Structures are given as structure tokens and as C-alpha cells.
Amino acid sequence: MISISWWGWCLMGLALVAVVSAGALAFRAWLRRRMHRSIASYQNELMARHLEEVQHIYRQMRGWRHDYHNHIQIMKAYQQQGEYEQLNQYLDKLDGDLVQVDTLIRSGNIMVDAILNSKLSLAQSRHVPIKAKAIVPARLNVSDLDLCVILGNLIDNAVEASLKLPETERLLRVYVDVKKGSLYLSVTNTAKGRPAKHGGRYVTTKGGFHGLGLARVDALVEKYGGYVKRRDEDGAFSTEVLLPLPAEGGPVG
């Protein structure tokens, strides 16, 4: 029978520790590389989505610029012919059109208006009907940037889900207001089938970096001591968020 000395056991123990440590380091390196790839892919997707929104706004502006020249020519013609009644009617019509194309939402918060109008306008261009109302108080605990990140992710997910349906079945509802001392956000979309769940929580079925948007929303809501609730029923999926508002006279976050 082979006997192993005390030093032998020590060497074997050290070798085992070295192997385990090397494996742990290798696993951490692999996990880090995977996370970096996921974050890079997520950032690329956000950039592509932002580019699409900017291009949509640019196309709208080019269309308005083209129409502007036509409107000027028509108004000059009315003026030269002395048809002032027709000119006034034409100006009234233009005024009504400008009200419609101005903004979909005026919440009282410039950054929220920017994110909502860009995303909702793009959704409409992709044939997703919109029902939206937003009122944002002047005093908030949540930063404008974090609030826009929350709204942006919720709307992006809702639009993507709606696009899986026929145009006649699509709908997106966005509601922002104050309820019981909190800022209340609600985003609802019609959906195909029931979303996947794991451990009682909704998860994305797209895998990889797509789940980072949901995690980002949850982390920001938790950061401000808020509450998030997701539910699906009757062919629709909704997310509700409550974010505490500062007390009267209290400091603003």
C-alpha cells in the first residue's frame, strides 16, 4: 500500500486549490466577456432605434419644408388676386394642421415630451394606433433622464409586441399622471399570446441583451423606492409603475 507523506498531501491540496482558482478565474473572464458582448449589443440596438427615430423626425421636417413652399405660393396667389376671404380660410386651415403636427403630448416636462413624442410618432408611422395622456408635475424625486429611460424602455417593448399583430388589432396606450402622492406610469399594448414567465416574473423571449431593458426599468424603480407591476389579460399586456413624489416643501431628488 502506497503511503503519502504530510508534504505530499500539502502539495496535492495546493494543486487542487490552484486548479479551482484557475477555473474560477477562467469562468469570471468568460462571464465578463459575455456581459461586455451583451452590453455592446444592447447599446447597438439602442443606437439603431434612436437613429430610426431621428430619421423619422428628419423625414417629417423635410416634408414640412416642401409643403411650406407650396403654402407660400398659394397664399401669394390669393393675395395677388385680391381673394382675401379665401386667404383667411386657407390660413385657418394651416393653423389647424399645425396644431395636429405640433406635438402628440404636452406633459409639462420638456424631456418627457421629447421622448414620448419621438417614440409615439414613430409608432404611429409604423401603423400602431396611439392613445396617450401625460401630466408630469414640476417637482419630482426621479431625475428627468431616469424617467425617460423608464418610459423609453416600456414604450419600446410595447411597440415591438404590437407589431407582431395585424394592423387592425394593434393598440398602444400610455398614461402618466399623479396618483396618491406618486407619479403613476401605465403602458399597455395589445399582445399575441401570453408572455413567458420564470419564477413568477415576466421574462423576454428574445434572449441575450434584450432582457437588459426590463432589468434597467426594475433597477431604476427600485432606486427610487418605487413599485412596478406587470400583468397580462384579455390579449393585452400592461406595465404600471409608481414613483414616490417629494413631500410638499421637501427636497427634490
How far is Cα 54 from Cα 13, in angstroms, rounded to an integer?
Answer: 61
What range does the domain containing 77 cover?
Answer: 8-100
| E strands present in the chain | 130-134, 172-179, 182-190, 197-198, 201-202, 227-233, 236-244
pTM over the 0.75 mark:
no
Number of domains comprising the chain = 2
Angle at 246 between CA 241 and CA 252, to 5 degrees: 110
Place of cell 409615439: 120
Looking at the structure, do residues 26 and 77 belong to the same domain, yes or no? yes
**Contact between 245 and 139 (Cβ < 8 Å):** yes
What cell was used for 39? 452590453
Of 50, 75, 100, the last residue of a domain is 100
Do residues 128 and 68 share a domain?
A: no
Q: Do 172 and 129 form a contact (C-beta atoms < 8 A)?
A: yes
pLDDT (tens, 9 = 90+) of the chain, 253 residues, equals 445 565 666 666 666 666 666 666 666 666 566 655 555 555 556 555 665 665 566 566 666 666 777 778 888 888 888 888 888 888 888 766 655 545 567 888 877 887 888 888 888 888 999 999 999 988 889 988 888 889 988 998 899 889 999 999 999 999 999 998 899 999 999 988 766 655 556 555 554 444 567 888 888 899 999 999 998 887 899 999 999 998 765 455 5
Of 78, 100, 122, which one is at a domain's C-terminal end?
Answer: 100
